[in-house]
Amino acid sequence: MKAKAAIFPDANGGISIDEVELESPRADELLVKITACGICHTDLSMMGPAPFIPLPVVLGHEGVGIVEKVGAEVTDFSPGDKVLLSIDHCGTCSACDIGSPAYCEEMMVRHFSAGRPDGSSPITYKGERMGGSFFAQSSFASHSIAPARAAVKMDDDIPLELMAPLGCGVQTGAGTVLNIFEPKAGQGIAIFGVGAVGLSAVMAAKYANCYPIIAIDKNAQRLELAKELGADVGINTQTHDALEEIQKITNDRGVEYSFDNTGAADVIKTALDCLHKNGTCAIANSQEELTINGFGILLGKTLRGSLEGNSVPRTFIPELVEMYRQGHLPLEKLVKFYPFEELETALADAHSGAVIKPILTMST
């Protein structure tokens, strides 16, 4: 069938929407009419200087929409179902076995190979194979072919388009707190970098009754929003030293948990240094070499990575939806909607940080 998709890079090296041909869904896949897709920093990284995905490709990995067709072996979805597309997994490896699909052995091939695990792509452009299946969805498009196991059914009573970022950014931030840290009420947390992922962590920390919740950023406006969403203190690193301030706030005790979203080695060092012994620091994104003080680790500190907040989307997304229903996840304060045609503006606003979470909306 014909569909519209954002091709990157296009003939001019930029991104543009054009007509593509989509395969019919295979036995275990869905054809989803995409109604909205959030923009995540991983989309921007793939458009940056060192993308770790073969190009050209159709990006987009926070898609929501309506099932139009189901593959022959799909039993848990029907046409008309509202769905959110999230991470894919093989279902049989040791990570999948212990309920950690984010660390599936096939994570890279299923998300970053620009095709299905067998090398095929569901998208053809001008008669040639086009990279697709980005995060098993490539949802900067009017339609997506996605494996049914990566889809989560969504209830009718919630605004589906607003839920799009739950599929990656929000589940990464909230999942780091609720699935990895599992804090007790009254435990302290420092969150370094309060974009969409960090702010989701702030909301989850508030939900879990952490105290104090300390937000650290160099953007005063974001710190204000972090406070509105539950942070007890905001530290602006343009004017203050984060470590000194955290030690002051906690009477030199440090916090039980820290979460870095900046990926910068010096910030990760601070995130480790500000921990109480036995504390855990999680990082959501970094490709830098880190220098770690062995004695700090010896005394009980833990440093670990967080992919997608170690979430199992089929169970965690409904929990996040329930948090939204109860007012604990006011996503509307983070997002700005853009028509799909204004993709370039939305990407630029995500890149500059002018908007925390742009969401593209697709009309027919």
Q: Could you list the residues that contact Zn ion (CB under 5 A)? A: 40, 42, 89-90, 93, 96, 104, 168
Judged by beta carbon, residue 47 or residue 90, the one nearer Zn ion is 90
Beta carbon of residue 230, minimum distance to Zn ion (angstroms, whole number): 22
- Distance between alpha carbon 186 and the CA centroid of its chain, in Å? 27
Q: Nearest Cα to 80, choosing from 70, 66, 101, 96? A: 66
- Distance between alpha carbon 220 and the CA centroid of its chain, in Å? 23
Q: Nearest Cα to 7, choosing from 62, 41, 63, 56? A: 56
Judged by beta carbon, residue 121 or residue 311, the one nearer Zn ion is 311
Beta carbon of residue 233, minimum distance to Zn ion (angstroms, whole number): 28
Query: Whole-angstrom Cα distance, residue 287 to residue 215?
Result: 23
Beta carbon of residue 40, minimum distance to Zn ion (angstroms, whole number): 3
Judged by beta carbon, residue 9 or residue 117, the one nearer Zn ion is 117
Instruction: For residue 70, list its beta bridge partners.
Output: 30
Judged by beta carbon, residue 104 or residue 242, the one nearer Zn ion is 104
Beta carbon of residue 104, minimum distance to Zn ion (angstroms, whole number): 3
Beta carbon of residue 176, minimum distance to Zn ion (angstroms, whole number): 13
- The token duo for 351 is 């890149």
Beta carbon of residue 52, minimum distance to Zn ion (angstroms, whole number): 14
DSSP 267-293: HHHHHHHTEEEEEEEEES---S-----
Q: Nearest Cα to 61, choosing from 158, 144, 149, 138? A: 138
Judged by beta carbon, residue 96 or residue 194, the one nearer Zn ion is 96
Task: Count Cβ atoms within 10 A of the Cβ of residue 337 and give its class: 0-12 exposed, 13-18 middle, 19 or more buried.
Answer: middle
Judged by beta carbon, residue 96 or residue 150, the one nearer Zn ion is 96
Beta carbon of residue 106, minimum distance to Zn ion (angstroms, whole number): 6
Query: Whole-angstrom Cα distance, residue 349 to residue 338?
Result: 11
Judged by beta carbon, residue 103 or residue 211, the one nearer Zn ion is 103
- The token duo for 44 is 């921007």
**Edge to edge, what strands does the sheet with 123-125 contain?**
2-7, 16-22, 123-125, 128-130
Judged by beta carbon, residue 25 or residue 63, the one nearer Zn ion is 63
Judged by beta carbon, residue 96 or residue 229, the one nearer Zn ion is 96
Beta carbon of residue 249, minimum distance to Zn ion (angstroms, whole number): 31
Q: Which residues contact 55 (CB under 8 A, 6 or more apart)?
A: 8, 9, 46, 114, 131
> How many other CB atoms sit within 10 Å of the CB of residue 77?
17
Beta carbon of residue 262, minimum distance to Zn ion (angstroms, whole number): 16
Beta carbon of residue 121, minimum distance to Zn ion (angstroms, whole number): 20
Q: Nearest Cα to 347, choosing from 358, 361, 334? A: 358
Judged by beta carbon, residue 274 or residue 317, the one nearer Zn ion is 317
Helices assigned H by DSSP within 275-341: 294-298, 313-325
∠ CA 333-336-340, nearest 5°, is 155
